[in-house]
Amino acid sequence: MTVEHKILFTGTMGAGKTTAIAGVSEIPPVSTDVRNSDTSVAKATTTVGLDYGELTLDNGEKLRLYGTPGQMRFDFMWRILGRGALGVVILVDNSRPDPLADLDIYLDGFAELIAQTACVVAVGRMEQHPSPGLDAYARRMEAKGVVCPVLPANVTDPQQVVQLLELLLLQLEV
C-alpha cells in the first residue's frame, strides 16, 4: 500500500484553494464544486466536499493536496481532512469585508493541527486591497498564540504556491 502524505489548503470561498492546488498538482484536480446558493457572495460555485490534487515523489509515494470547503458549516470536513496532515495553508482574500475575522475562523477551526504541525497564511488581492496589512495579520495571530509566516500571494502563479509549500516544509524540519 502506498504511504500517503497530505497538505491542506483552506480559506473562504473564492480565496483560491482550487486554483492553488491546480497550479501544483500533476493530475487535473478533482473537485466537488456545486452551485453556490449564498447570494451574499458573488461566486457561482463552491466546494462542498474537497478539492484534490497530487504529486508523486521519487520513491513512488504520493503527496496529496486537499482543499477544504470554506464555510463553517463544513467544519466536520476540516476535521476529517486534517487528520494526519503535514500542515495547512490558509488562504485569505483581502478584498472581503473583514478578512481578519475570516482568518480567526480557520485559526480556530484548525487550532490543533496548527499547534502540532505547520501553518502558512497567504493573503490574496493585497495589491488592490492593501488593508488590513500584514502586521495586522501577525498581531491577530499573536493574539491566538500563533506565530507563523504571513505573506502576500497570488495563487494563480504556481511558483508562489510552491513558495508557500516551501515555508510549510521549513517549519517541519527537525
Partner 1 sequence: MNITPRIRLAAESAIDTLMREIKGVKAVVISTEDGLELAARVENTAQVARLSAIASSLAALGAVAGEESQLGLCDNVAIEATHGHILMLQARHPEMTLIVSVVTSRDAIIGQVLYFAKQATQLLQHA
Partner 2 sequence: MTGANTVPKGQRALLSYSVEGLQHREEVLLKSLIRLLDHRTHQNWSWKAEQADLRVVGAQIAIAAASPQPAVPTLTVAHADPQRGPFLALPLHTDALEVALNRLGAMVVHARGLGLAVTEVPMGEHEEFRMLRWPPAAVLEAPIRLRLATLMTNRPASVLSLQQRSPATRQECADFLADLQRAGLLERAASPGVLVTASAPDSVFPDSRFPAPTRDAVQLGLLARIRNRLGLQPPGPQ
Residues within the interface to partner 2 (CB under 8 A): 3, 5, 24, 55-59, 61, 63, 86, 115-118, 134-135, 137-139, 141-142, 147-151, 162, 165-167, 169-174
46 binds, among partner 1, partner 2, none (CB under 5 to 8 A by kind): partner 1
CB of 17 to partner 1, least distance (A): 15
* 74 binds partner 1, rule: CB under 8 A: yes
* 73 binds partner 1, rule: CB under 8 A: yes
The Cβ of residue 166 has, within 10 Å, a number of other Cβ atoms equal to 10
**SS3 (DSSP) at 4:** strand
Please identify which residue in 5, 55, 62, 71 interacts with partner 1, judged by CB under 8 A. 71
Counting DSSP H helices and E strands in the chain, the numbers are 6, 7
Q: What are phi and psi of 137, to 5 degrees?
A: -65, -45
* 163 binds partner 1, rule: CB under 8 A: no
Closest to 164 measured CA to CA, from 15, 41, 46, 4 = 15
- Judged by CB under 8 A, which stretch of 68-76, 82-90, 118-126, 132-140 contacts partner 1? 68-76
Distances, alpha carbon 119 to alpha carbons 48, 78, 112, 129, 154, in Å: 22, 14, 11, 23, 17
Q: Which residues of this chain interact with partner 1, rule CB under 8 A?
A: 30, 32, 34-39, 46, 48-50, 69, 71, 73-74, 76-77
